[in-house]
Structure 1
Amino acid sequence: MALKDKQLRILALFKKLTSVTGDPLPEGDRDDRLKSFPTLQRGHLFSCFNEIHLQESQHLYETLYGAKDFEDFMHLCEQARDIVNEGLFVYSVSVAVLHRDDCKGVTVPPIQEIFPDRFIPAETINLALKADKRRDDAAGGIVIPIQHTGNILDKEYHLAYFREDIEVNAHHWHWHLVYPASWRASVMGKTKDRKGELFCYMHQQMCARYDCERLSTGLQRMKPFHNFDEELEGYSAHLTSLVSGLNYGNRPEGLTMKDVPQVGVQDMIRWRERILDAIHTGHVHDVNNKEIPLDEEHGIDILGALIESSEDSQNKRFYGTLHNWGHVILAQAHDPDGRFKENPGVMDDTSTALRDPIFYRLHRFMDNIFQEYKHSLKPYDRHDLEFPGIRIQNVTVKARVENIVNTFMKEDELELSHGINLKGSVRVKYEHIDHEPYKYHIEVDNTTGAVKNATVRIFLAPKYDELGNRLVLDNQRGLFIELDKFHTEIPPGKSSIDRLSSESSVTLSHTPTFDELQRGEGVDDDKTEFCSCGWPEHMLIPRGNSRGMAFQLFVMLTDWEHDNVGGQGGTSLCVDAVSYCGAKDEKYPDKRAMGFPFDRTITARNPTMFKTHNMHFSDVVIQFNGH
């Protein structure tokens, strides 16, 4: 079957799922492989943080993945659509499509078009439904402006452009499709290399980006969540689920974490203490009580799997599920025992969680646990950092004005009619932050007399804190966001390296829309799940401020011959966002720790180490031209 035909058949599975009606397929008419479904009824919100939901979705996507051929796969999917919960169906089918070899090149439609009610405020959806009812049959598409979800009385409102960015939330959803917590390599036949470390690093980077945005808007860096009995800030998402008919739960200010039916707050406290004990003793205990060392090579990966917790956890029964149940408990803070039958809040779902300020504080709390482990490792010395014979002489950012990058608000539109049963096209018009295109110009001197292969590592961090004080490097290192990482050859003598911002190894430049996929655009035999995974390009750099905010650009060249894994050199499929998403069915293409060289403590003595010739700090200004 032609790839375009496969794409069209799979697209049909995802259409208008918010409007599914009718009774589930009778059990007697079902394929035997689907007779154990459903447990989670249709019309309820699915959460891949909830262990019970996660187990059911695992069962489904493993069943779909095991279909003998594409026709058998489609047969199972089409029956499952008439049986299982809507959200669970989308999650499970997406995971299966993204990983089946006979679906290579097929793109899962964007989650924001499948379930637009997870991204667009209820007020806007309501206006769209009314406009669609009033439409003249001869009329063309309708465009509705998005409604704002708060005002300046809430200081966090200033960050709504970041937290409620549609593609940022879609990235988080898609990352968890590529790296499901329930992934079993023994069943799926594919290993997710360094999955625990990548969980740690990707979320750490989101927190660092959030703090950069806070400083850009004049706010303090966030205070980590750290006490399980502390009062929580309030949040209202203004989202209503069209699947359940209920609002996503609002959290009034002053609530605290409470026990939910499946897990208690004391469990969370116990799990945290056990994980910290493992860090302080330098090992974890597996299910057979064998000591597994938290060594430099594998320690962070083991801890990431423990904290999430994924199927790779060494001992889930003992170390628990700190991350996943943390999301669920916070999402149910307004109705912990379910007595009011309220929907959970947005923290319950990977496609909505980033909207809530508590998401970043929770992940900073977890990152602080990871940092506790990193503090136990010796700081990098000159031998770890140097690249003998390679000197960076200068780095400039080439934009309209050198070393000044402008950001601004840009209009975009989201089509609703593929996810909602409308008579015709209705689009929501919204704004997102964006930046002017620029490139890095790196001047290098290679005195070795031979061509050298190098890994170029580019990071950015604010230069000053919220009080205008110069950030000490060890404090600043937690704010460094990765902008790019790539391989290049450096000829003998003096030369330069030029790299466009649009070529970033972190970002995804474009996600094909439903309409584009129906027209056959973006359908490619070389595409894999990783082609749709990545941070949105328009959010590559922080917003900055109207006066021009001072940042430091850090560029480092390391020896690619030491960094390279298994001979990979950028020839793998879909490595456009490799920093956050890895490479298709291969090892993470960098032997160094993720975030190197800022992943370890920089002591009072150690800053002199960060004066090696293969590094360079440059002052860069980011200026926001908007409102």
Structure 2
Amino acid sequence: MKVLVLCALAVVTAASSGFQSDSPPVSEVNVAQKQHDVNFLLFKVYEVLRDEHLKHLGETFDPEASSSHYTDDGHAAHALMKELKDGRLLEQKHWFSLFNTRQREEALLLYEVLEHSADWNTFVGNAAYFRNHMNEGEFVYAMYTAVIHSHLTEHVVLPPLYEVTPHLFTNSEVIEQAYHAKMTQTRSKFRSDFTGSKRNPEQHVAYFGEDIGMNTHHVTWHMEFPFWWQDSVEGHHLDRKGENFFWVHHQLTVRFDAERLSNHLPPVEELHWKKTIKEGFAPHASYKYGGAFPSRPDNTDFDDVDGVAHVRDMVIIEGRIRDAIAHGFITARDGSIVDIRDKHGIDVLGDVIESSMYSPNSEYYGALHNTAHVMLGRQGDPHGKYDLPPGVLEHFETATRDPAFFRLHKYMDNIFREHKDSLTPYTKEELQFPGVKIDNLATSGLLETYFEDFEYSLLNAVDDTVEIDDVEISTIVPRLNHHDFTFNIDVINEHEEDVLATVRIFAWPVKDSNGVEFSFTDGRWNAIEMDKFWVKLHPRENHIVRRSRDSSVTVHDVPSFQYLMDRTEDALTDHTELDLHDFESALGLPNRFLLPKGNSKGLEFTLVAILTNGEADAAVENLHTNTKFNHYGYRGVYPDNQPHGYPLDRRVDDERIFTRLPNFKQVNVKVFNRS
């Protein structure tokens, strides 16, 4: 999300600043030029800059030339330059992990420099300069988060990470083939397979955890809502960040279980510190520099990880969090009590479990999620005996490749459920929408999934020099998709005037892996959020038609690096406006992932829709005309006053409280897979 800086920024041109830049004045820098600069700053990031102007900037720009070009008086720039001059920064061509404290601090120093740049010349000058002097992984992370959050980069679209740093998304065997193609100057396409073999049951759902669009969604969420965010530093609050953390991972977990059910597998079992990690994992991937990602054998017991945590520490932290849920409050650092037995409690609990800088007491409650990622990622070499690099769990780009990721999040999801189930169920009065009745709920179009081939470039995967021409090298991977379909809802508005309604659509499997029908309360906890949107209901009959491709839960595929470059250069050459608004957010799930895979006989789901009072729900105005992706909040404001998953977020002791509501409707549908 591009956030607005709260202070007024003076518009100062490069000519008056004394900066070594021949860029146009900041007032003349249009979106196409910014997109061009971002494209080339991230293109071949391990090699020299391929744009002559940016290359010149990288060689001549002085980050400390004028503090007036920063909103923090240049403090971040001075701090980073001191680290650079003192030789303390991580060397180039070395692995980078956000979970490494020192490496994260260095990346965030660059992020702060970019975020506090008051004009585009300063932003791009710093980016070009530090691209030449900082570790490439730190640079990429800082650039992505800065472009996401800076007021200067609104409407700029980031290229897909799987084409910027392909090693994190592509099997080593394919990378080796790409190097051979480059050395022999042979235009090539290579087929990628999912890791493992069919002897491993987990391989049957690898298409979900290893989907590069899903990986992009996961890492993008953690860039939009980073655990390191501090309001006092950023000058901006991320609304309901802890609740968003809960919901995004809850949805990944229930969707993964739906994929397992589609493939005749039981739901994923939760991981626990005192239980054996049954499934091993061999990533079949390597760092660009630094060796292969470590493997983990089957049937591994958790071991202490040197310099990170003892297993007993994790058990203690878990116990403190469960005690807080049982008591209904968190104890803050100053000893005060933070009540969590209301609809805002999930937000506090999410901050505690992650733990983000928003946690009321990270010293006492620890960082269950963040530490668990490192603990699990290091089980292949917990004591550093083999000096292995970080595991896939220590990168948000690669974490979901490991099936243990979902076991880890099932474990935390069950903790969240303890809290949610401790809350008082909704009453009929809280759930009803007087004067509004759903007459009919149906779908049109096939609820049918299929696998298709997707191609992406490996141009940035191989070493390069300016003297050697590029040759097209790409890989083809299978991915899940589904046919377009629509939700059709017939609604009666008995009022004499228009009313604003929130339409909420969910689906959960009718039966579990043993063929036992889910109770309503278990079903709603396994509910996949299909859509949420706002409509104006006119008096009497209303027919709502909602296309699957318009779901607020999903976004378009990120366009290819080449597409972004071609569109950008066309706009600059033709002096036309660059319009990439369809791709400005990569925060949601890929829109081809809205439906679970299903199976050849048709996997049966309970589809439910509920209409609630939009005026009471809305946290911002004109939501029914909104076209921006804001499912997790836009510009720091979450649009819905109700909790994520409402009204299915609390336990249901008697399903009749829902089934007898006029504003609620449920039907059974089947999802087919024709692969």
Same fold (TM over 0.5): yes
Q: Does residue 171 of structure 1 match 2:220?
A: no
Among 431, 449, 455, the alignment partner of 1:413 is 455
Partner of 1:61: 111
Q: Which amino acid aligns with 2:374?
A: V
Contact 1:196-1:302 at 8 Å conserved across structures: yes
Which residue of structure 2 lines up, in the alignment, with residue 510 of structure 1? Answer: 557
Q: Tell me the equivalent position of 2:662.
A: 613
1:392 aligned residue (411, 427, 438): 438
**CA distance, structure 1, for counterparts of residue 312 and residue 621 of structure 2:** 47
CA distance in structure 1 between the aligned counterparts of 2:648 and 2:584, rounded to whole angstroms: 25
Question: Which 10-residue stretch deviates more, 448-457 or 521-530?
Answer: 521-530
C-alpha distance 148-362 of structure 1, shift in aligned 2 (>3 A):
closer
> Which residue is equivalent to 1:114?
164
1:258 Cα deviation from its structure 2 partner: 2.2
1:299 aligns with 2:345: yes
1:552 aligned residue (606, 611, 626): 606
- Superposed structure 1 runs of 4+ greater than 6 Å apart: none
Q: Does 1:220 align with 2:266?
A: yes
CA displacement 1:571-613 (0-9 Å, x = unmatched): 55732xx33x32123x21111110112211111x354334311
Q: Secondary structure at the match of 1:373?
A: helix
Query: Is the 8 Å Cα contact of residues 572 and 583 (structure 1) preserved in structure 2?
Result: no
| Alignment pair present for 1:255 and 2:300 | yes
Which residue of structure 2 aligns with residue 448 of structure 1? 495
The more displaced of 419-428 and 551-560 is 419-428
The Cα offsets for residues 402-432 of structure 1, whole Å up to 9 and x where unpaired, read as xxx1111111101111343353111111110
Tell me by how many angstroms 1:527 deviates. 5.2
- Residues in 1 aligned to 2:192 and 2:673: alpha-carbon distance in whole angstroms: 22
Q: 1:547 to 1:387 in 2, by over 3 A?
A: same
Q: Assess if the C-alpha contact under 8 Å between 2:171 and 2:284 holds in 1.
A: yes
Q: CA RMSD in A?
A: 2.3
Q: Quote the residue 1:230 is aligned against.
A: 276
Secondary structure class of the residue paired with 2:357: coil
CA offsets per residue over residues 520-545 of structure 1, 9 Å max, x none? 35985795996222100111110000
TM normalised by structure 1 equals 0.92
Contact 2:195 2:283 in 1 (8 A): yes
- Which residue in 2 is equivalent to 1:102? 152
Cα gap change, 1:507 to 1:593, in 2 (>3 Å): same
SS in 2 for 1:82: helix
CA distance in 2, matches of 1:263, 1:81: 34
Deviations 1:353-410 (A, max 9, x none): 011111111111111111111111101111121111111111111005xxxx111111
Among 603, 613, 623, which residue is 2:672 paired with?
623
**d(CA) in 2 for partners of 1:190, 1:530:** 20
User: How many Å separate the matches in 2 of 1:524 and 1:555?
Assistant: 38
Hey, what does 2:12 align to over in structure 1? none
CA-to-aligned-CA distance 1:416-473 (integer Å, 9 cap, x gap): 1134335311111111011011111111122233322111101111111111111111
Q: Aligned residue for 1:143?
A: 189
Range moving further from structure 2, 611-620 or 52-61: 52-61
1:136-161 CA-to-partner distances (Å, cap 9, x unmatched) read 5xxxx421111342211100010011
**By how many angstroms is 1:75 displaced?**
2.1
Q: Which residue of 1 aligns with 2:240?
A: 194
Partner residue in 2 for 1:569: 623
CA contact 2:433–2:613 (8 Å) conserved in 1: yes
Moved more, 342-351 or 509-518: 509-518
What SS class does the counterpart of residue 520 from structure 1 fall into? helix
Gap change, CA 1:297 and 1:52, over 3 Å in 2: farther
Amino acid in the other structure paired with 1:235: F
Give the partner amino acid of 1:608: I
Matching of residues 297-336 of structure 1 within 5 Å: 297-336=343-382
Partner of 2:396: 350
- From the superposition, tell whether residues 328 and 528 of structure 1 become closer, same or farther in structure 2 (CA, over 3 Å): farther
Q: Hey, what's the Cα distance between the residues in 2 that align with 1:85 and 1:228?
A: 38
Contact (CA 8 Å) 1:19, 1:243: kept in 2 or not? no
Shift of 1:512: 2.2
In the alignment, the residues of structure 1 paired with residue 213 and residue 671 of structure 2 have an alpha-carbon distance, to the nearest angstrom, of 22
Aligned 8 A contact 2:157 2:584 in 1: no
Q: Does 2:257 match 1:211?
A: yes
Question: Is structure 2 residue 36 aligned with structure 1 residue 8?
Answer: yes
Structure 1 position 497 matched with structure 2 position 539: no
> Which amino acid in the other structure matches residue 471 of structure 1?
F
Deviation at 1:206, TM superposition (A): 0.3
Task: State the alpha-carbon separation in 2 of the partners of residues 389 and 118 from structure 1.
Answer: 53
Letter in 2 for 1:247: A
Change (3 A) 1:612 1:50: farther
Unmatched 5+ residue regions in structure 1? none
Q: Shift in Å at residue 54 of structure 1? A: 3.2
The answer on whether the counterparts of 2:559 and 2:583 sit within 8 Å (CA) in structure 1 is: no
Residues 450 and 572 of structure 1, relative CA distance in 2, 3 Å threshold: closer
In 2: Cα distance, 1:39 partner to 1:330 partner: 27
Cα separation, 2, equivalents of 1:122 and 1:46: 18
Rounded to whole Å, the distance in 2 between the matches of 1:215 and 1:328 is 29
Aligned residue identity for 2:402: D
Q: Secondary structure at the match of 1:596?
A: coil
- In 1, are the aligned partners of 2:521 and 2:655 still within 8 Å (CA)? no
Cross-structure match for 1:486:
533
**Which runs of no fewer than 5 residues in structure 2 stay unpaired?**
1-28, 50-57, 65-77, 465-469, 572-576
Deviation at 1:198, TM superposition (A): 0.3
Match of 2:633 in 1: 582
Cα shift at 1:568:
4.3
The one-character-per-residue Cα deviations of 1:149-176 (angstroms, maximum 9, x if unpaired) are 2211100010011111110001111111
Contact 1:251 1:345 in 2 (8 A): no
User: Which piece of structure 1 moves more, 319-328 or 268-277?
Assistant: 268-277
Specify whether residues 612 and 573 from structure 1 end up closer, same or farther in structure 2 by C-alpha distance, changes over 3 A only. closer
Query: Does the CA-based 8 Å contact 1:104-1:528 persist in structure 2?
Result: no
Aligned residues: 608
Distance 2:483 2:538 in 1: 31
**Alignment partners' CA distance in 1, 2:620 and 2:94:** 45
**Are positions 1:381 and 2:443 aligned together?**
no
Q: What TM-score, normalized to structure 2?
A: 0.86
Structure 2 CA distance for aligned equivalents of residues 207 and 524 of structure 1: 37
Tell me how far 1:249 sits from its aligned partner.
Answer: 0.7
SS of the counterpart of 2:409?
Answer: helix
Q: Distance in 2 between matches of 1:142 and 1:10?
A: 27
Q: 1:495 to 1:528 in 2, by over 3 A?
A: closer
Larger relative contact order (Cα-Cα within 8 Å, sequence gap ≥ 6): 1
The reply to whether residue 283 of structure 1 matches residue 329 of structure 2 is yes
> How far is the alpha carbon of 1:48 from its aligned partner?
2.4
What SS class does the counterpart of residue 257 from structure 1 fall into? coil
